[in-house]
């Protein structure tokens, strides 16, 4: 007799996407619904917490209902409710956490708490769960840039993280300087395709020969100086620049950020003798970063296996939440109704 599959409803509201998904046995995606708030935040050039919270409240019920309908299952066939409760914007997280606790209570289903960063890593493991260890995981998103020594998506040892801006944040801020649309990452990647990555030598902050930490505020400032002059007294020259000049700045900025991310990942891999490299988070959608890590993993004499999240599961989604929850379900790691949202990762 075939074992019954375990269906988990995952919910994600940590930032500006209201998402729900049903995933069976951690890998069969039965539905994935994402209501993006990009349009609401774009005129501010970043996520406004109060607006995000209100939009989550408006969308949470229809998004969950649609995920269940698209999965073509009844609520009785759902085995657990999983929620990303940290890290993120507290006023955004609280909407999903409250919805998940309510469903868990009224449907009498177990509740599973998921760390959003660990879920990003799970996206890279959707097709392959058994890692050849040791493994280095690079998580690059709008709020985080972290390197981990990963035993699984649930057992992570932090090797390094950003001491100032996250990589995605740098993309978003530089896009604002260049007057490109929000979110900045995809906009910079698009225009960078037309530019020369060697046109401008932007700084690559390595924080010394040993460090596995990152710093991206220097490069953001360098772009700002480039556009407004060292004394910051000049007008932002972007308005009078040609599209080619802007493309060159975007391409050179992207090349510098990717360079640092790849070199630091290589450094971490050497440090722990990694056999596998994992890549997840919103910035993992960037083609230059994907290609850079692929080259690094193939070019070394001791080639490493590279697992990258599929592009549609790099940015925030609930598939990664429902998928990772399966492994907590199997391990009996459940939360209860005292679960709270947490701004920071524990």
The residues of the shown chain that bind ligand KG4, judged by CB under 6 A, are 15, 141-143, 168, 171-172, 183-186, 189, 281-283, 285-286, 315-316
Helix (H) or strand (E) segment spanning residue 99: helix 90-107
Other CB atoms within 10 Å distance of the CB of residue 317: 25
Q: Which residues partner with 171 through β-bridges?
A: none
Supply the minimum distance, in Å, between the C-beta of residue 190 and ligand KG4: 8
| Side-chain-side CA neighbours of residue 119 (13 Å) | 31
Q: Rank residues 133 and 306 by Cβ distance to ligand KG4 and give the closer one.
A: 306
Q: Is there a cis peptide before residue 134, judged by omega within 30 degrees of 0?
A: yes
What does 94 bind: ligand KG4, Zn ion, none (CB cut-off 5 to 8 Å by kind)?
Answer: none
With contacts defined by CB under 5 A, name the span among 20-28, 134-142, 179-187, 222-230 that binds Zn ion.
Answer: 134-142
Q: Rank residues 92 and 222 by Cβ distance to ligand KG4 and give the closer one.
A: 92
Contact predicate 150/136, CB 8 Å: yes
Residue in 52, 135, 316, 324 binding Zn ion, rule: CB under 5 A:
316
With contacts defined by CB under 5 A, name the span among 68-76, 127-135, 257-265, 316-324 that binds Zn ion.
Answer: 316-324
What does 10 bind: ligand KG4, Zn ion, none (CB cut-off 5 to 8 Å by kind)?
Answer: none
With contacts defined by CB under 5 A, name the span among 99-107, 138-146, 171-179, 323-331 that binds Zn ion.
Answer: 138-146
Residue in 13, 85, 122, 141 binding Zn ion, rule: CB under 5 A:
141
Q: Rank residues 10 and 168 by Cβ distance to ligand KG4 and give the closer one.
A: 168
Supply the minimum distance, in Å, between the C-beta of residue 158 and ligand KG4: 17
Cα separation, 13 vs 87, in Å, equals: 10
Q: Cα–Cα–Cα angle for 33, 153, 329, nearest 5°? A: 70
With contacts defined by CB under 5 A, name the span among 39-47, 66-74, 198-206, 313-321 that binds Zn ion.
Answer: 313-321
Q: Rank residues 110 and 143 by Cβ distance to Zn ion and give the closer one.
A: 143
Which alpha helices (H) appear in 300-343, and where do they start and end? Answer: 319-330
Supply the minimum distance, in Å, between the C-beta of residue 172 and ligand KG4: 5
Q: Rank residues 24 and 309 by Cβ distance to ligand KG4 and give the closer one.
A: 309
3-state SS, 205-227, equals CCCCCCCCCECCHHHHHHHHHHH
Q: Rank residues 119 and 296 by Cβ distance to ligand KG4 and give the closer one.
A: 119
CA 19 to chain centre: 14
3-state SS, 129-149, equals CCCCCCEEEEEECCCCEEEEE
What does 96 bind: ligand KG4, Zn ion, none (CB cut-off 5 to 8 Å by kind)?
Answer: none
**Binding pattern for the stretch 222-241 against Zn ion, x by CB under 5 A and - elsewhere:** --------------------
Beta strands in the chain (DSSP E): 7-12, 17-24, 28-36, 80-86, 111-115, 135-140, 145-150, 156-161, 276-280, 305-308
What does 26 bind: ligand KG4, Zn ion, none (CB cut-off 5 to 8 Å by kind)?
Answer: none
Q: How far apart are the first and last CA of the chain?
A: 41
Q: Binding residues for Zn ion, per CB under 5 A? A: 141, 316
């Amino acid at each position: 007799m075939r074992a019954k599959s375990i269906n988990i409803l995952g919910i994600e509201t940590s930032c500006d996407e209201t998402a729900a998904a049903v995933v069976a046995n951690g890998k069969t995606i039965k539905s994935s619904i994402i209501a993006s708030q990009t349009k609401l935040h774009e005129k501010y050039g970043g996520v406004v917490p109060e607006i995000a919270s209100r939009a989550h409240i408006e969308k949470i019920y229809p998004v969950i209902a649609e995920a269940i309908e698209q999965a073509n299952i009844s609520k009785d066939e759902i085995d657990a409710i999983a929620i990303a409760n940290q890290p993120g914007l507290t006023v955004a997280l609280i909407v999903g956490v409250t919805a998940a606790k309510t469903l868990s209570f009224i449907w009498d289903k177990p509740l599973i708490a998921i760390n959003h960063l660990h879920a990003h890593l799970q996206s890279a493991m959707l097709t392959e769960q058994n890692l050849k260890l040791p493994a280095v995981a690079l998580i690059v998103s709008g709020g985080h840039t972290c390197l981990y020594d990963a035993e699984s998506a649930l057992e992570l040892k932090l090797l390094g993280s950003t001491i100032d801006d996250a990589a995605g944040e740098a993309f978003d801020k530089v896009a604002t300087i260049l007057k490109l649309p929000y979110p900045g990452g995809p906009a910079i990647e698009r225009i960078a395709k037309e530019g020369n990555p060697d046109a401008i030598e932007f700084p690559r902050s390595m924080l010394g020969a040993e460090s596995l930490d990152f710093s991206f505020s220097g490069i953001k400032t360098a772009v700002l100086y480039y556009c407004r002059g060292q004394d910051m007294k000049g007008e932002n020259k972007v308005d009078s620049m040609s599209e080619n000049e802007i493309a060159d700045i975007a391409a050179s900025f992207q090349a510098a950020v990717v360079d640092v991310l790849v070199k630091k990942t290589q450094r971490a891999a050497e440090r722990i003798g990694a056999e596998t490299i994992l890549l997840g988070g919103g910035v993992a959608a960037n083609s230059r970063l994907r290609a850079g890590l692929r080259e690094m993993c193939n070019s070394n004499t001791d080639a490493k296996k590279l697992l990258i999240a599929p592009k549609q599961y790099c940015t925030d989604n609930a598939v990664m939440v429902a998928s990772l929850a399966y492994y907590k379900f199997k391990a009996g790691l459940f939360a209860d109704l005292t679960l709270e949202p947490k701004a920071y990762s524990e």
